[in-house]
Structure 1
Amino acid sequence: MDAQLVAFTGVAAGMVAMPGADFAVVVRNSLASRRAGVTCAIGVAGGLLVHTALAVAGVAAVLTAVPTLFRALQVLGGAYVLYLGYRALRSAARPLASFGVPDGAEQPAAGGSLRQGFFTNALNPKAPITFLSVLPQFVPAGSPAMPRTLLLASIIVALALVWFPVVALLVDRLGRRLRRPRTARAIEGGTGVALSVLGLVLLTEALMA
Structure 2
Amino acid sequence: MLYLDEFLLIAVAHFFAVASPGPDFAIVMKQSIQQGRRNALWTSFGVGAAILLHVAYCVLGVAILLSQSPSLFMALKYVAGAYLAFLGVQAIRSAKPDTVTQQTLAQQPQESMFKAFRRGFFTNALNPKATLFFMSLFTLVVSPTTPTFVQAGYGLYMALATWLWFSCLSLVLSKVSVREFFLKSGYWFDRGIGVILIALAIRVVV
- TM bucket normalised to smaller: 0.7 to 0.9
Q: Does the CA contact (< 8 Å) of 2:37 and 2:171 recur in 1?
A: yes
**In 2, distance between residues paired with 1:137 and 1:70?**
19
Give the partner amino acid of 2:160.
A
Kindly tell me: are residues 98 and 115 of structure 1, through their superposed partners in 2, closer, same or farther at Cα, counting changes over 3 Å? farther
| Aligned with 2:121 (options 118, 121, 128) | 118
**In 2, distance between residues paired with 1:147 and 1:155?**
12
Measure how far apart 1:85 and its partner are.
Answer: 0.7
Kindly tell me: are residues 98 and 71 of structure 1, through their superposed partners in 2, closer, same or farther at Cα, counting changes over 3 Å? farther
| Aligned with 1:38 (options 24, 33, 41) | 41
Give the SS at the match of 1:19.
coil
Structure 2: stretches of 5+ with no match in the other structure: none
Give the partner amino acid of 1:40.
T
Q: Does the CA contact (< 8 Å) of 2:96 and 2:187 recur in 1?
A: no
**In 1, distance between residues paired with 2:48 and 2:59?**
16
Q: Percent identity?
A: 30
Measure how far apart 1:202 and its partner are.
Answer: 2.2
Equivalent residue number for residue 197 of structure 1: 199
- Alignment of 1:95 with 2:96, yes or no, is yes
Kindly tell me the number of residue pairs found equivalent between the two proteins. 199
Equivalent residue number for residue 75 of structure 2: 72
Equivalent residue number for residue 63 of structure 1: 66
Equivalent residue number for residue 180 of structure 2: 179
Structure 1: stretches of 5+ with no match in the other structure: none
Equivalent residue number for residue 47 of structure 1: 50
**In 2, distance between residues paired with 1:190 and 1:12?**
27
Q: Does the CA contact (< 8 Å) of 1:43 and 1:118 recur in 2?
A: yes
**In 1, distance between residues paired with 2:133 and 2:9?**
17
**In 2, distance between residues paired with 1:71 and 1:15?**
22
**In 2, distance between residues paired with 1:162 and 1:81?**
23
Measure how far apart 1:147 and its partner are.
Answer: 3.1
Give the SS at the match of 1:179.
helix
Question: How high is the TM-score relative to the length of structure 1?
Answer: 0.85
**In 1, distance between residues paired with 2:180 and 2:11?**
34
Measure how far apart 1:104 and its partner are.
Answer: 4.1
Give the partner amino acid of 1:113.
A
Deviations 1:65-113 (Å, cap 9, x if unpaired)?
Answer: 111111111111100001101111111xx234265634645x4222211
Give the partner amino acid of 2:151.
T
**In 2, distance between residues paired with 1:52 and 1:98?**
45
**In 1, distance between residues paired with 2:178 and 2:67?**
45
Measure how far apart 1:23 and its partner are.
Answer: 0.7
Question: How high is the TM-score relative to the length of structure 2?
Answer: 0.86
Give the partner amino acid of 1:185.
Y
